[in-house]
């Protein structure tokens, strides 16, 4: 089974968590794109969706799914999103698509976070994939110098702006042995808006597509 088929399979499996009348938080990325395709088939059962990016917003609207604002929905029952890396402890590394801030906001505001990945994303320890940091543009170099002090190698994602008008630093070579502590530490650096470690608010359910089906971790 190729990676695209696995992404589609695991995205479809997330439909099992939908209950009638729900407002669903919808993440960003190629795996979630398959979820949006599948969501179209059950759209009459849901009240609407909250989008984690402008790109997801557009795709949901194209499928005729009502897009609501988090400011008016209150907390959500369900959030479905992908990840760049995931562990069996349900810690995630996210932000390859640059939507990490809105994704983290929606994850925090959701009672159940179902993360959908294929088995290439499952790791024993986070950090092989460069860790994205969303930073205020004028703080980019200052934050980069702080990152070097803690052993990381920051790389500016040039010619890229987040939906919030900020920059992204992709940080290589960080040892993420304690994801929750590093998440907190990075948040203390002035100019960092969000980092891509999702450990303080991890997934509640991790669905992993493999050659033989979909494994579930809780």
Footprint of ligand 5RP on this chain (CB under 6 A)? Answer: 27-31, 81-84, 94-100, 103
Query: Cβ closer to ligand 5RP: 55 or 142?
Result: 55
Query: Cβ closer to ligand 5RP: 97 or 154?
Result: 97
CA distance 71 to 122: 33
Instruction: Supply the minimum distance, in Å, between the C-beta of residue 82 and ligand 5RP.
Output: 3
Instruction: Supply the minimum distance, in Å, between the C-beta of residue 149 and ligand 5RP.
Output: 26
Instruction: Supply the minimum distance, in Å, between the C-beta of residue 117 and ligand 5RP.
Output: 7
Helices 30-40 and 3-13 cross at an angle (nearest 10°) of: 50
Query: Cβ closer to ligand 5RP: 98 or 191?
Result: 98
Query: Residue 130 has what DSSP assignment?
Result: P
Query: Cβ closer to ligand 5RP: 97 or 191?
Result: 97
Element housing 118 (H / E) = strand 110-118
Helices 54-62 and 30-40 cross at an angle (nearest 10°) of: 30
Q: Do the Cβ atoms of 50 and 23 come closer than 8 Å?
A: yes
Active-site hit among 19, 85, 103, 211: 103
Encoding tokens for residue 214?
A: 């979909």
With tokens 């052993």, the residue in question is 151
Is residue 211 part of the annotated active site? The answer reads no
φ and ψ of 191, to 5 deg: 105, -20
Sort residue 69 into left (φ over 0), alpha (ψ -120 to 50) or beta. Answer: beta
Element housing 132 (H / E) = strand 131-135
Query: Cβ closer to ligand 5RP: 95 or 152?
Result: 95
Instruction: Supply the minimum distance, in Å, between the C-beta of residue 44 and ligand 5RP.
Output: 26
Element housing 40 (H / E) = helix 30-40
Instruction: Supply the minimum distance, in Å, between the C-beta of residue 100 and ligand 5RP.
Output: 5
Q: Do the Cβ atoms of 104 and 195 come closer than 8 Å?
A: no
Residues classed as catalytic: 103
């Amino acid at each position: 089974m190729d990676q695209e088929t696995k992404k589609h399979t695991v995205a479809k499996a997330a439909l099992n968590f939908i209950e009638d009348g729900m407002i669903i938080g919808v993440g960003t990325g190629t795996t979630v794109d398959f979820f949006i395709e599948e969501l179209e088939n059950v759209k009459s059962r849901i009240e609407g969706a909250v989008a984690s990016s402008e790109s997801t917003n557009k795709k949901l609207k194209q499928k005729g799914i009502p897009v609501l604002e988090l400011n008016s929905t209150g907390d959500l029952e369900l959030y479905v999103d992908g990840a760049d890396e995931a562990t069996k402890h349900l810690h995630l590394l996210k932000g390859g698509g640059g939507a990490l801030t809105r994704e983290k906001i929606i994850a925090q505001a959701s009672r159940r976070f179902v993360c959908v990945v294929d088995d290439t994303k499952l790791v024993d320890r986070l950090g092989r994939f460069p860790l994205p940091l969303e930073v205020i543009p004028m703080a980019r170099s200052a934050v980069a110098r702080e990152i070097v002090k803690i052993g990381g190698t920051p790389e500016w994602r040039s010619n890229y702006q987040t939906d919030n008008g900020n920059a992204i630093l992709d940080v290589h070579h960080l040892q993420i042995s304690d994801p929750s502590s590093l998440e907190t530490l990075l948040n203390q650096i002035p100019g960092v808006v969000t980092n891509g470690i999702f450990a303080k608010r991890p997934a509640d359910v991790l669905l992993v597509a493999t050659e033989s089906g979909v494994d579930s971790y809780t």
